[in-house]
Each structure stands twice: as structure tokens, then as C-alpha cells.
Structure 1
Amino acid sequence: MADPARARKLAVRIRQIVSAAIESQIKDPRLGMVTVTDARVTNDLREATVFYTVFGDETQVADSAKALASATGVLRSTVGRQTGVKFVPTLTFVADHVPDTARELDEAIERVRHADAELARVRQGAAYAGEADPYRRPAESADDDETADESADETADSGSRS
């Protein structure tokens, strides 16, 4: 089993090699605007997964996937020549859905902002249905002094009657 740090370094190098090779060596007309976003290598350095995105519609994504699948051998031999590792890892290309997910999250956040703005607009003319502060508070100290005097008077009056 190899060192995980070595696997990470090899993954970075594979990402660089594959992206340069796609740009310069692969002349397949089906290949669209492909961007290599990430590469991951297993700890035994036998398999590499290369993540990519394609700018375009679904047909361009499908065509680019076919082009990358047919160019896997050329890309693997290029990786083997440029890395110099004993066993060249097999390459697997996976379409990266992170940009699509990020776009959906941005749209959801924008919808929430509009809903918050609408709620703020509705709240502007609103008033409380009851009191502004519905919680009971203890009586203020000035009122306490008056009630204490009254209860002392009542106690004195009841004591004088007896």
C-alpha cells in the first residue's frame, strides 16, 4: 500500500497531464470544451478517476464522454511516459456535477432573497395584533413603594381594631 500523500501528488500530476493532453493531443471532433476539475488515485496507485466538466448541452456532454472513452488509451500512455511510475493507473473519466449543483444552489439562494424581500415589504405596514410587548413584567419600584405603604396601613388598622 502506498503513502496517501504520494497518491495525492500523483493525482495532481495526472490532472495536469490529462488536461494538457486533451488540449494538445486529442483531435476528436466530438470533444467539446472539456475542463478537468479533479483527479483521484487509489492508495495502491492502480486506478485513477478523472473528473471533468463540459461546457454545453446534454448532447455535447454525451459526445465528449464518448470521445474521452475512446482516447483513454492515448491519455494513459501519456500519463505513463510523463510520470515514470512502474504501474500506470487505469483512467476512468467521470462527469463532474459540482458546477450544476452550485448553479442550483445559487438559484435557490436567489429565490430565498426574493421571498425575504417580499416578506420585508409586507411587514412594513404591519402592526401588532395585541400589545407590542406581550410579556408580563414585575411592577416598577415606585409602584412597589406605594403598595407597601398601603399594606402597612392596612396592617396597622387591623391591629388597632383588636
Structure 2
Amino acid sequence: MAGEFSRTSRIGDQLQKELASLIQFEVKDPRLGLVTVNEVRVAKDLGYADIYYTVLGKDDQPEVLAENQAALDSAKGFLRRRLAQEVKLRVMPHLRFHYDQSVVNGSRMSALIDEAIRDDETKNGNEDE
């Protein structure tokens, strides 16, 4: 059972929990919106951690996304230092923030599927008459 998850994935999960809390409660940057940390991928050598995030309700506003990216980038040092205090690791990875497009892509795909279903229903309804 213990071997099911790699060490880096367990560390990533722990970092994700801590980062979500730190960003929500301790980062006081006014540029920062409602950020959700979706995933943290940690390199095998713990040299860096890629943090994938989304911003609630602001997926279609590039200027807001850029402000959030800048706010997170400016808070990297603070977040890394606080993570080192909370998570006991010999080496704390460098943080790299990336906006997670998967949520936007998923909703776009869902809308396309819904549209295709409506089109099929319309075509099938016209053929029955």
C-alpha cells in the first residue's frame, strides 16, 4: 500500500495543501484574486515545483490573469520561506507558477459537445416529420 504513490507525489500533495492555505490567508497582494491551486508537480530531485492554478471567474480576462501571475511570482520567495517552515524537507523546491488551462479547455469542450447534441436532436427531430 505504501508504495502506490511516489515520494514526489506525496510531497506535491502536501505542498498543494499548504500553498492553498498560504495564498488564501497570508498573501496580502491586492492583485491576487481567488486563486485555486489545482496541482503541484515536484521534480524528482526536489529542485523545483510546478504549481498549476486557476482564478475563479476570471478565465476570460487576460489582464486579470497577468496580474495574478505577477502577484504569485512576486510572492514566490515569501511562499517558499513559509513552506520551508511548515513542511519539513531538507531542500525546499523553487516554485514556478503556471496558469492551468485545463479547466477552460474542459468547459469549452463541454459546450461543444452540448452544441453537437442539440444539433443532432434538431436534425433527428426534422427527419421524423
Q: TM exceeds 0.5?
A: yes
Cα deviations across residues 71-92 of structure 1 (Å, max 9, x unaligned)? 0000001111111111110000
TM-score (norm 1): 0.73
Q: Is the contact between residue 47 and residue 91 of structure 1 (CA under 8 Å) also seen in structure 2? A: yes
Which segments of 5 or more consecutive residues in structure 1 lack a partner in the other structure? Answer: 126-162
Once the two structures are superposed, the pairs formed by residues 86-125 of structure 1 within 5 Å of their partners are 86-125=90-129
CA apart distance, 1:122? 2.0
Q: Is the contact between residue 36 and residue 51 of structure 1 (CA under 8 Å) also seen in structure 2? A: yes
Q: Which runs of 4+ in 1 moved over 2 A?
A: none
Bigger drift between 85-94 and 113-122 goes to: 113-122
Q: Is the contact between residue 28 and residue 67 of structure 1 (CA under 8 Å) also seen in structure 2? A: yes
Which segments of 5 or more consecutive residues in structure 2 lack a partner in the other structure? Answer: none
- The equivalent residue for 1:17 is 18
TM-score (norm 2): 0.90
Distance 2:74 2:12 in 1: 21
State, as a whole percentage, how many aligned pairs show the same letter: 27
Higher relative contact order (CA 8 A, sep 6+): 2
1:49 aligned onto 2:50: yes
Distance 2:86 2:109 in 1: 39
RMSD: 1.3
